[in-house]
């Protein structure tokens, strides 16, 4: 069979399309090498879900391989330290929740200062916490739950996704506000804690709505309240703890990308633009919504930095007020 060359006009058109596609891809690339997204939590957790949704789109946008690497432990400190140990060249960045920077440093000596060594780059979503319970609990609502906890002193417990985190804070506040004595049982991340909760080995847990929602929908967990000021669009029928008379429970965090504070301004701006572009993609937005995330309000780097400082100072008061320590 004789193969003829493509007409010159067709070849020029194909080359033009290729050139436009290449420009569209590389215009968002801040690097010509593979990118690593560190997640300071186990696979399957809230931050991991965000990272894997983002990684797919970022890779498509910048034309580079994007690898998600989980480094859980120490309430996120291990992951942050791993990121800071790499060159500040944009090759290794982190997908995290804001609380990683504002909780553990209050109760654990870390090798980094979250207000000086870390640079917030961009936000992509928000997530609230919920009070969730084992499926075998007879309590139908928060009022019945409170009565049950008070009727069983010294017998019940609450899980957290790590000592010194908001999950821990909220449980301690619950103890104080309800006058109960739930035993704190920490785990290295949400997934293992939720497994024990569903198995009935612990009684309650404050956890992110993203990791809780699938199990709530399948009847494997009960959700008693939302631990933020506003009700969740994912669980509109569930009251907030503020509505129930406990405004102290306000644990809603932004999720996004951070890097080393040594990252040059121009590079940080390029990464910011690429992350916001990926996050605004309709398919990414749909995946975020399906996973249970709340709509994102993009913040400038200055606003992000201030939000971290504000949350850090709020948590310092909580730790001091409730005398939260690593051995609780």
Q: Which value, to the nearest 10 degrees, does the dihedral of the CA atoms of residues 195, 202, 172, 178 take?
A: 130
For helices 166-178 and 301-321, what crossing angle results, to 10°?
40
The three-state secondary structure class of 253 is strand
Q: Dihedrals φ, ψ of 298, to 5°?
A: -55, 135
Read off the pLDDT of each residue in 61-83 and give the average, rounded to a whole number. 92
Rounded Cα–Cα distance for residues 190 and 205 (Å): 10
Stretch 283-299: mean pLDDT, rounded? 87
Higher pLDDT, residue 296 or 113: 113
Residue 3 pLDDT = 45
Nearest Cα neighbor of 238 from 133, 98, 126 is 133
Average pLDDT over residues 252-266: 93
How large is the average pLDDT for residues 32-43?
94
**Count of positions (residues) in the chain:** 328
* Distance in angstroms (rounded) separating the CA atoms of residues 151 and 129: 26
Token pair in block for residue 177: 């506000």
pLDDT, position 45: 83
Q: What is the mean pLDDT of residues 266-271?
A: 94
Q: Of 185, 309, 308, 327, whose CA–CA distance to 258 is shortest?
A: 308
CB 89 within 8 A of CB 232: no
- Is the model's pLDDT at 195 over the cut of 60? yes
pLDDT at 20 over 60: no
**Cα(137)–Cα(319) distance, integer angstroms:** 29
pTM of the model: 0.75
Tokens representing 103? 């909780």
CB 98 within 8 A of CB 308: yes
Residue listed under structure tokens 């003829």: 4
pLDDT band, residue 298 (cuts 50/70/90): confident
- What's the pLDDT at 148? 97
pLDDT score, position 93? 98
Token pair, residue 130, equals 């919920």
User: What integer is the mean pLDDT of 23-42?
Assistant: 81
């Amino acid at each position: 069979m004789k193969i003829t060359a493509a007409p010159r006009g067709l070849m020029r058109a194909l080359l033009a399309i290729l050139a436009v596609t290449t420009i569209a891809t590389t215009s968002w690339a801040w690097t010509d090498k593979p990118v690593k997204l560190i997640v300071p939590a186990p696979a399957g957790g809230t931050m991991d879900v965000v990272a894997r949704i983002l990684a797919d789109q970022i890779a498509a946008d910048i034309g580079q391989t994007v690898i998600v690497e989980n480094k859980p432990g120490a309430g996120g400190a291990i992951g942050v330290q791993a990121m800071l140990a790499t060159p500040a060249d944009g090759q290794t960045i982190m997908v995290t929740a804001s609380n990683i920077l504002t909780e553990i440093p209050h109760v654990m000596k870390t090798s980094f200062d979250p207000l000086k060594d870390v640079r917030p780059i961009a936000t992509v979503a928000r997530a609230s916490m919920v009070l969730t319970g084992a499926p075998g609990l007879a309590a139908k609502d928060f009022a019945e739950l409170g009565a049950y906890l008070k009727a069983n002193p010294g017998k019940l417990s609450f899980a957290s996704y790590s000592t010194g985190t908001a999950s821990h804070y909220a449980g301690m506040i619950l103890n104080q506000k309800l006058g109960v004595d739930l035993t704190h049982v920490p785990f290295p991340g949400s997934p293992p804690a939720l497994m024990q909760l569903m198995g009935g080995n612990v009684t309650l847990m404050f956890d992110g709505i993203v990791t809780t929602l699938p199990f709530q929908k399948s009847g494997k967990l009960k959700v008693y309240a939302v631990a933020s000021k506003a009700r969740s669009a994912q669980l509109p029928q569930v009251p907030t703890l503020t509505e129930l008379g406990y405004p102290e429970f306000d644990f809603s965090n932004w999720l996004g990308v951070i890097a080393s504070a040594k990252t040059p301004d121009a590079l940080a701006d390029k990464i910011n633009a690429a992350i916001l572009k990926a996050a605004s993609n309709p398919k990414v937005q749909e995946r975020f919504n399906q996973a249970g995330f709340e709509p994102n309000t993009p913040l400038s780097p200055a606003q992000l930095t201030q939000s971290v400082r504000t949350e850090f100072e709020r948590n310092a008061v909580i730790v001091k007020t409730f005398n939260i320590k690593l051995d609780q």
